[in-house]
Each structure stands twice: as C-alpha cells, then as structure tokens.
Amino acid sequence: MTFTKIFLQAGRDEAVRRFHPWVFSRAIGRYEGNPHDGDVVEVYDRKGNYLATGHYHDGSIAIRIFSFAATAGGRVIPDVDYWTQKLSRIRSIRQAIVTGDTNCYRLVHGEGDGCTGLIIDMYNGVAVFQAHSIGMHRERALVAEALKNVYGDELKAVYDKSAETLPDEYGATVINGYLYGVVPVPHPVKENGNTFMIDWIAGQKTGFFLDQRDNRDLLAKYAHGKKVLNAFCYSGGFSVYALNAGASLVHSVDVSQKAIDLTDQNVAANFGEDRTEHEAFADDVMHYLKNHDRQYDVVVLDPPAYAKSLSARHRAVQGYKRLNTEGLRRVAKGGILFTFSCSQVVDRELFYNTIVAAAIDAGRQVRVLHHLSQPADHPVSLFHPEGGYLKGLVLWVE
C-alpha cells in the first residue's frame, strides 16, 4: 500500500521526534503526492528518513499522527490487524485501571492513547465511537472490526456518534448510527456500584461524563449525613454518589429540563421513585445561587467549558470567578466545595488564582484539601500536555 509522503522543512522535525502528535502546516516542506482530507500519509524529515504515519487535513494542524517510527519499529499499515493490536494493548492497561463494580470507562482517549482524533467509551459491552478528525472517522469500520476481535462475545454493539465532533462540512454528511449490533437505550451501567442509565443517542458527548468517576467517588467520602448541592448536575452523577453515601439531602440543579429528567431517572434507578432526600430544579445555576439563601455542607460546581479558545479565556475567567464567589457563599461554615473547570485554555495556575479571587470576594477563609484531575483511563501524553483538560479543587470553607 502506497501513501502520500510529506517531507518536513529542515529544523521542523524536532517536535515529531519528541512524539508530539500534531504536525502544523508551516512545518511542511514538500509533498510527494496529492493528499486529501482524511488520507493516511507518511511523514519524513528533509533527508527522507521516515518519522511517523498520520491522517492529513488541509488546515493549521495538517497531520494528526497515530504511529511513530521509534515506537512502531518502522512503517505501519493501519489495517484491522494494526488496530486490533493497538486496542488490545490499550485495553490491557484499562483492565488494571478499572476494577471493582464498574463496567463503564474510556477505552481510547485520543492523543493520550496514541489515537489522535479518536474517543471510544465503553458502556457495559457497548462501544461508543467518536471521531474528531475525518481521517479517524474513515477508520471506523476497521476499528469496529478490531473491537470485535479484542472483546469477542463481550461486545454487544458499536455506535458511531461522530456527526457533532467532525469538521462542519464533512460532519454534515455523517449520520450517527450502529456500526455493529443494536442495543436499546437507556442502557444500564455500573460505576463503583452506582447504577446509571446511559443514552448515547440523545445524551451529551458519548452519553455520560466518565472523566469525573474518581472525583464522584471522592465526594462520597464527604457526603454522609450532609446537605449537598450538585450544580450543573447533567445526569446526576454526583447526586447519586452522595445519596448512596448517606447524604441527608441532595439538591440537583441544571438549566436543562432534559438533564433534570436524566437525573431523576438515575436517582430512580438506584433508589426507586420516592427518594425524599433528593429534589431537582431546572434553573440557571447563577440564578439559583443568587436567589436561594440555603446553606449546604457540600457544594459541587461542575460547569461546562466556559472557554474553547484563547480569545474567550478572559471572559471565561470572569465567569468562573462569579460562579465560585456565589458558590462559596452557599457553603456552610466548615463545609466543602468541589469546583471544576474543563476549559483546556484555562490552565491549573490560572484556575487556582481565579478561585483565590473568588474566595476574597466572598470573604471566606479557604483551605485546599485536594487537587483533582481526570482519571487514569483519560491519560495524558507527556509530549502532548494539552490533553490534560480537567482540573478541580476540593476546598474546606470556614
């Protein structure tokens, strides 16, 4: 099989040699072939030494690498055998990470697993495939076959949910659907013994925010006998953990009525229809915080990304500050605040300093108990720190 060869300019190959998975268009010297969006291409240095293989895109990030010469031992052919071997290696790590009463986890986390542009989440035997590049989407049939090879009879279905995450023009031609099997939704899963009903067809992202698993488990350690507010609750992950841990009261708030319905559904899946300790509110979180004077022992602030680009960062920081100022005012004396940011362009230092400013505005004495991140099934490549997007703090508030 012959692929287009792309040769980098002199001095522009250092990043690839350091295993950074992106090649920017300005680094390219010449082409040997005429690649189109999504094509598999090979990357060479100026002297013709093979460096890597990836997917081409006519844009600022021109090549998204999925195999490096130094780790693959040479050139690769991305066929079913290649993807089977790669996914098998990744799964072996997940089997060490995801233990106990849990059957939902992230199998593939993009650059962190050497699969740039690809997310695969596993939900009790169902693989939800989500491509963020045209090239990786074109691999979907091969990846589905590889998943069948890796999981065997354990695999119930593979669902492609990529239309929303692909480049606009190409994404408009894509229809989400099953690549293998069919499983009705909502589909029950277990996470640390808690039951959640997952709808990958209509739900956000792939159906659930798996990246908060460890942080939900930590919350449970603080929730027994406590009054808990779960703001931006989505499907009620933190709420279910708090209730299972014996919280005396849990309030879930989200602006979306659909999210509130999902939360009620997940609470019912664990406790039945009449869990009097829980109440959910379809309301804007800032409106709720400003217009209710109730004090909570534990408050969770887990908003969606406030900034997806550098140009929006300043406005996002101001938003985080206002949110956390109001959140701190709702924490009872001696209580706990779990606060998060999933905005990639807001780094840990900036987020920390923003929370400091919020504490000053709220007039609260605050101590840091935990620095939080994404779990180990969302790994970050040392050479691609941009993959570390989730950050959080657990604060003891006086």
Domain regions of the chain by residue span: 4-72, 80-189, 209-397
**92: three-class secondary structure by DSSP:** helix
4-72 CATH: 2.30.130.10
- Residue 39: name the closest of 23, 58, 60, 22 by CA: 58
- Under the banding of pLDDT at 50, 70 and 90, the label for residue 94 is very high
- C-alpha to C-alpha distance for 118 and 131, rounded to whole angstroms: 5
Residue 251: burial class (beta carbons within 10 Å; 0-12, 13-18, 19+): buried
CA 326 to chain centre: 26
What single-letter DSSP state applies at residue 304? Answer: P
pLDDT at residue 355, rounded to an integer? 98
pLDDT at residue 23, rounded to an integer? 98
What is the percentage of the chain residues whose pLDDT exceeds 90?
Answer: 91
pLDDT at residue 277, rounded to an integer? 95
**372: three-class secondary structure by DSSP:** strand
- Fold match between 4-72 and 209-397? no
pLDDT at residue 171, rounded to an integer? 97
Are 107 and 94 in contact by the 8 Å Cβ rule? The answer is yes
Residue 67: burial class (beta carbons within 10 Å; 0-12, 13-18, 19+): buried
At CB < 8 A and 24+ separation, what contacts does 66-71 make? 66/21, 66/114, 66/115, 66/116, 66/117, 66/136, 67/114, 68/16, 68/19, 70/17, 70/19, 71/19, 71/114
- C-alpha to C-alpha distance for 53 and 227, rounded to whole angstroms: 53
Query: Is 115 considered catalytic here?
Result: no
Amino acid sitting at position 82 = Y
Q: Give 80-189's CATH code, choosing from 3.90.76.10, 3.30.750.80, 3.20.20.70, 1.10.3720.10.
A: 3.30.750.80
209-397 CATH: 3.40.50.150
Catalytic residue among 104, 115, 233, 342: 342
Are 116 and 65 in contact by the 8 Å Cβ rule? The answer is yes
Helices (H) and strands (E) in the chain, counts: 12, 20
pLDDT at residue 274, rounded to an integer? 75
pLDDT at residue 70, rounded to an integer? 79
Q: What pTM does this model have?
A: 0.95
Are 247 and 277 in contact by the 8 Å Cβ rule? The answer is yes
- C-alpha to C-alpha distance for 64 and 52, rounded to whole angstroms: 10
Are 398 and 364 in contact by the 8 Å Cβ rule? The answer is yes
- C-alpha to C-alpha distance for 119 and 375, rounded to whole angstroms: 15
pLDDT at residue 49, rounded to an integer? 95
Statement: residue 362 has pLDDT above 80: yes
| Mean pLDDT of all residues belonging to the chain | 96
CA 126 to chain centre: 17
Amino acid sitting at position 57 = H
pLDDT at residue 155, rounded to an integer? 98
pLDDT at residue 36, rounded to an integer? 97
pLDDT at residue 20, rounded to an integer? 97
- Under the banding of pLDDT at 50, 70 and 90, the label for residue 309 is confident
Q: Which residue has the higher pLDDT, 311 or 172?
A: 172
CA trace torsion 161, 156, 375, 171 (10° rounding): -10
Amino acid sitting at position 304 = P
pLDDT at residue 391, rounded to an integer? 97
pLDDT at residue 2, rounded to an integer? 86
pLDDT at residue 161, rounded to an integer? 98
Angle in degrees, CA 243, 246, 250, rounded to 5 = 40
CA 94 to chain centre: 16
Statement: residue 311 has pLDDT above 80: no
**395: three-class secondary structure by DSSP:** strand
Question: What mean pLDDT is predicted for residues 159-179?
Answer: 97
Amino acid sitting at position 13 = D
Strands 177-180 and 40-44: unpaired
